Amino acid sequence: MLIIAGLGRQIPVKRLFVAATLRANKPIFHRFIHQTWRRNDNLKNDGLDSSKTVTHSGDAFRANFEGDAKADQTNVKADQADQANAEFSSSPEKSTIFVPNKFSDFRKKGLIDDILLDAIEKAGFKDLTPIQQKAIIPLLNTKDGIVCRAKTGTGKTLAFLIPTVQSAIEKMKNRKKSKKREKVDTIIIAPTRDLALQIRDEYIKVCENVIRPLRPTISLVIGGQRNTFVPSNPSEIVIATPGRLEADLKHHSFKYAFSNVSYRIYDEADRLLDIGFEPQLHSIDSTLKRLRDKNEPPIKSLLFSATIDKGVKKFAEKHINPNYEFVNTVPKDDPEVHENVHQVLVKCTGAVDKFKTQFNYIADLIKSKENAKIILFLPTQTSVEFFYDYMRRALHSSSVFKDYSSEFRIFHLHGKRSVAQRSAALRGFKAVKNCMLITTDVAARGIDVKGVTHVVQLYPSSDVADYVHKVGRTGRAGAKGKAVLFLTKFESAYVRILEKQRGVRFDETFDSSEIEGTDEFFKEITVDEKVTNDFFFTFMTFLKQMDSVYGLNINGLVAENGILYRTLVHDETAKLESGSLVMLRKRLRRGIIDEYFERDYSNRRYSRDQYNRYEEGEDSTSPFRGRSGFGNRGRDDSYRRHDSYRHHDSYSQHGRGNREQKRNSFSGHRGSSKRDNDHYKGRRSDSFNDNWD
């Protein structure tokens, strides 16, 4: 045993040897000595003589020492983050972590200017969300950069708004003293124009309440519209899309304005990488580093995303800092979908049943006394146009909506619409209480609309992560919401993948038969033929993509949607355009092709119908049939009829010389078709008898 002078403790030499061998953890041992010294002071205050030898239990020492070592090893970054908060400790003896619950808690802490706190409270923000509690202080103090993961709808925009506006206010105060020219202080990079506009609105909501001499200005640098950024008089905060920002930074007038950036924000980083913006982001990063004064500290880079995969991590190490700090507000085993969202799975017997069921479901929401703000997500631009046209026709002609058509509004949104049209659709959807937005994935991320009550999806998302983002459009900022997914048995594999990869658990599952409705009104609605053909023409390519991604039953999907096509056009013999077979031919059974698609005259320029239309003066190159084109061919039509396979100008003279050529052509094709069918027989998901459990 060894008695350490001044400590009054008997400590085995073996214990000291263990401590000496852990030289990497010297601060831990010092902390133990300091704590022991403090305990001796307390003993003196209690009237005890600490100079007397007091035996210290080896087990107690080990528990204290090893416990401190473990805590120090697992909380290195936490200690770094908490170091900035130590000054707010209420006790000089024991430091406490400052965890704000309300924005008013920041007052007199020296972190956020009272001017900004006043503006935040005037904008209606009082309580902090979990991500704001965890992220704001590290974002204010970071030097190495931060990667922050949070669920959608949890307030991450406000989390990075506060430190960036705080930085701008501080620079504006210093600029008044030094009279330096203005420069951009913060760049926020968003994957889409719509998200950039959404972020701009959030900044304006807060900044308009800042007193005018210190009010930061916000500008947009995005494609598709005239930008508000003026290089000679730059704004403090710039919100940009990657392509446009990269192009503008090549101009000399822009370079000076961006030479002293303090903050760079990557919002929806996973989406930025999914779209393929990494080369542009690398170019922007190189330009900003080249323009920056060597005497200035590095840019504080912040990355926000709902999902953090290997690609995002690699990007962060390269573009932010290899030693970036990670702030995770999502527990490891916690589902990615917010708990405020009630997820529902509706099992449908087929595409026709799905279409009618979702229509009846939305009709019930429209007719309910409570206001319904619905987002309907669809996979393609043409599907958005079709559903928008169909719902408008139903709303104004069907007896189902007789008393509600004037109260309910429908908006639609997709990438082919102009910037003005998209902005108008979003403004209208935000302003109207009882309405529906029909949209593609363009609105799946970052679009924050208050009061969305329902998110409806009819098809699998092209990426599993997109399901989480779509569902995140409801249940935001503490509100409750419902997300409903309609699937047929041929799409059931998608549910298993959601559960396995994203931990999605549906709160409620029921059959389509439980949704009441009538089929009578479907007979009243006449669809636009061109819009309908456009929809199914591109939809077949989408089905091929889903088969590749999720291994769905492609033959079953095509067959049930071929029946849906016939139901919509009110023709039991109607067939889909042969052009939509380009991506599907090798994956479909011959019987499916013959039943649901027009003949493919691959070696001819025109079919008979196309030739007739050409003779009548119609556009022969159009991929869509005329008004009389629905169902003008029966099932028993032969491929050999009307086709010479050699003479493009002859429709009647086949000649005996062509028989062998045609026979060889068919035999080769049939052989490949048989091989395809043999291949598919071994695939579990390609069975028409899949259980829909």
Residue that the structure tokens 């019987």 belong to: 591
Residue 79 covered by a domain: no
Q: Among 467, 504, 506, 499, which residue's Cα sits nearest to residue 342?
A: 506
* Residue 671 scores a pLDDT above 60: no
In terms of Cβ atoms closer than 10 Å to its own Cβ (0-12, 13-18, 19+), residue 549 is middle
**Tens digits of residue pLDDT in 410-427:** 999 998 998 889 989 999
* Residue 301 scores a pLDDT above 60: yes
- Listed in sequence order, the DSSP H helices in 239-294 are 242-248, 252-257, 269-275, 278-291
Return d(Cα 685, Cα 552) in angstroms, integer: 6
* Residue 653 scores a pLDDT above 80: no
Residue 467 covered by a domain: yes
SS (H, E, C) 159-190: HHHHHHHHHHHHHHHHHHHHCCCCCCCEEEEC
Q: Among 31, 28, 36, 35, which residue's Cα sits nearest to residue 11?
A: 36
Beta sheet of 300-305, edge-to-edge order: 218-221, 237-240, 186-189, 263-266, 300-305, 146-149, 325-328
Q: Among 277, 272, 238, 278, which residue's Cα sits nearest to residue 254?
A: 238
Judgement on whether residues 15 and 119 belong to the same structural domain of the protein: no
Return d(Cα 231, Cα 251) in angstroms, integer: 10
Residue 82 covered by a domain: no
* Residue 73 scores a pLDDT above 60: no
Residue that the structure tokens 């040897």 belong to: 17
Which whole number is the average pLDDT over 83-100? 48
Return d(Cα 609, Cα 586) in angstroms, integer: 25
Which whole number is the average pLDDT over 487-516? 92
pLDDT of residue 692: 52
Judgement on whether residues 355 and 307 belong to the same structural domain of the protein: no
Residue 385 covered by a domain: yes
Q: In this predicted model, which residue has the larger pLDDT, 318 or 151? A: 318
Give me the number of domains the chain comprises. Answer: 4
Q: In Å, what is the CA distance from 328 to each residue of 149, 155, 300, 323, 366?
A: 5, 14, 18, 15, 39
589, two tokens? 């059974």
- pLDDT-derived band at 622 (thresholds 50, 70, 90) equals very low
Question: Coil, strand, or helix at residue 156?
Answer: helix
Q: In Å, what is the CA distance from 660 to each residue of 14, 139, 656, 693?
A: 97, 76, 8, 50
pLDDT of residue 523: 82
Cβ–Cβ < 8 Å for 437, 375: yes
pLDDT of residue 74: 36
Strand-strand pairing, 508-511 and 341-348: parallel
Return d(Cα 628, Cα 196) in angstroms, integer: 46
Which whole number is the average pLDDT over 579-585? 84
* Residue 80 scores a pLDDT above 50: no
- pLDDT-derived band at 584 (thresholds 50, 70, 90) equals confident
pLDDT of residue 625: 37
Judgement on whether residues 301 and 354 belong to the same structural domain of the protein: no
Strand-strand pairing, 186-189 and 9-11: unpaired
* Residue 443 scores a pLDDT above 90: no
Q: What range defines the domain where residue 572 resides?
A: 529-686
Residue 23 covered by a domain: yes
Which whole number is the average pLDDT over 86-99? 47
Q: Among 182, 201, 198, which residue's Cα sits nearest to residue 190?
A: 198
Judgement on whether residues 316 and 222 belong to the same structural domain of the protein: yes
Q: In Å, what is the CA distance from 102 to each residue of 98, 120, 128, 481?
A: 12, 11, 6, 25
Mean pLDDT over all residues of the chain?
76
Cβ–Cβ < 8 Å for 542, 379: yes
* Residue 193 scores a pLDDT above 80: yes
pLDDT of residue 307: 80
- pLDDT-derived band at 162 (thresholds 50, 70, 90) equals very high
Judgement on whether residues 539 and 495 belong to the same structural domain of the protein: no
Measured over the CA atoms of residue 82, residue 88, residue 92 and residue 97, the dihedral's sign is: negative
pLDDT of residue 177: 65
Note every long-range contact of 287-291, with CB atoms under 8 Å and residues 24 or more positions apart, other chains counting: 287/246, 287/249, 287/250, 287/255, 287/258, 288/187, 288/249, 288/258, 288/261, 288/264, 291/255, 291/256, 291/258, 291/259
pLDDT of residue 232: 87
* Residue 47 scores a pLDDT above 80: no
- pLDDT-derived band at 404 (thresholds 50, 70, 90) equals low
Judgement on whether residues 451 and 503 belong to the same structural domain of the protein: yes
Minimum mean pLDDT range among 236-240, 253-257, 384-388: 253-257
Residue 426 covered by a domain: yes
User: What is the per-residue DSSP string for 296-337?
Assistant: SPPPEEEEEES---HHHHHHHHHHT-TT-EEEE-S-TTS-SS
Judgement on whether residues 226 and 308 belong to the same structural domain of the protein: yes
- pLDDT-derived band at 617 (thresholds 50, 70, 90) equals very low
Beta sheet of 54-55, edge-to-edge order: 2-4, 9-11, 54-55
pLDDT of residue 316: 94
Which whole number is the average pLDDT over 517-537? 88
Q: Among 148, 147, 193, 152, which residue's Cα sits nearest to residue 469?
A: 152
Minimum mean pLDDT range among 188-197, 303-312, 651-660: 651-660
pLDDT of residue 179: 60
415 phi and psi angles, rounded to 5 deg: -65, -25
Cβ–Cβ < 8 Å for 606, 645: no
Question: Coil, strand, or helix at residue 4?
Answer: strand
Strand-strand pairing, 9-11 and 2-4: antiparallel
- pLDDT-derived band at 655 (thresholds 50, 70, 90) equals very low
Cβ–Cβ < 8 Å for 513, 346: no
Residue 336 covered by a domain: no
Which whole number is the average pLDDT over 87-97? 41
In terms of Cβ atoms closer than 10 Å to its own Cβ (0-12, 13-18, 19+), residue 436 is buried
Judgement on whether residues 50 and 144 belong to the same structural domain of the protein: no
Return d(Cα 470, Cα 441) in angstroms, integer: 8
End residue of a domain, out of 477, 499, 520: 520
Amino acid type, 198: Q
End residue of a domain, out of 468, 500, 520: 520
Q: In this predicted model, which residue has the larger pLDDT, 521 or 179? A: 521
Here the CATH number for the domain that contains residue 221 is: 3.40.50.300
Which whole number is the average pLDDT over 164-178? 86
pLDDT of residue 181: 66
Return d(Cα 496, Cα 683) in angstroms, integer: 17
End residue of a domain, out of 488, 520, 552: 520
Helix (H) or strand (E) holding 71: helix 58-74
The dihedral over CA atoms of 32, 37, 40, 44, expressed in degrees to the nearest 10, equals -160
- pLDDT-derived band at 502 (thresholds 50, 70, 90) equals confident
648, two tokens? 């493009």
Strand-strand pairing, 54-55 and 237-240: unpaired
Judgement on whether residues 501 and 639 belong to the same structural domain of the protein: no
In terms of Cβ atoms closer than 10 Å to its own Cβ (0-12, 13-18, 19+), residue 621 is exposed
pLDDT of residue 153: 73
Judgement on whether residues 298 and 157 belong to the same structural domain of the protein: yes
616, two tokens? 């009548």
* Residue 38 scores a pLDDT above 50: no
* Residue 665 scores a pLDDT above 90: no
Q: Nearest-5° angle of CA 292, CA 297, CA 298?
A: 70
Measured over the CA atoms of residue 161, residue 205, residue 420 and residue 406, the dihedral's sign is: positive
Judgement on whether residues 458 and 512 belong to the same structural domain of the protein: yes
Ranges 73-82, 454-463, 615-624, most confident: 454-463
Return d(Cα 496, Cα 479) in angstroms, integer: 28
Judgement on whether residues 353 and 299 belong to the same structural domain of the protein: no
- pLDDT-derived band at 406 (thresholds 50, 70, 90) equals low
CB proximity list for 377: less than 8 A, separation 6 or greater: 439, 440, 441, 443, 444, 455, 456, 457, 458, 461, 470
Cβ–Cβ < 8 Å for 466, 444: yes
Minimum mean pLDDT range among 32-46, 123-137, 157-171, 320-334: 32-46
- pLDDT-derived band at 385 (thresholds 50, 70, 90) equals very high
* Percent with pLDDT over 90 in the chain: 44
* Residue 17 scores a pLDDT above 50: no
Residue 270 covered by a domain: yes
Minimum mean pLDDT range among 403-407, 522-526, 591-595, 627-631: 627-631
* Percent with pLDDT over 70 in the chain: 69
Q: Each residue of 234-263: b (16+ CB within 10 Å) or e?
A: bbbbbbbbbebbbebbeeeebbebbebbbb
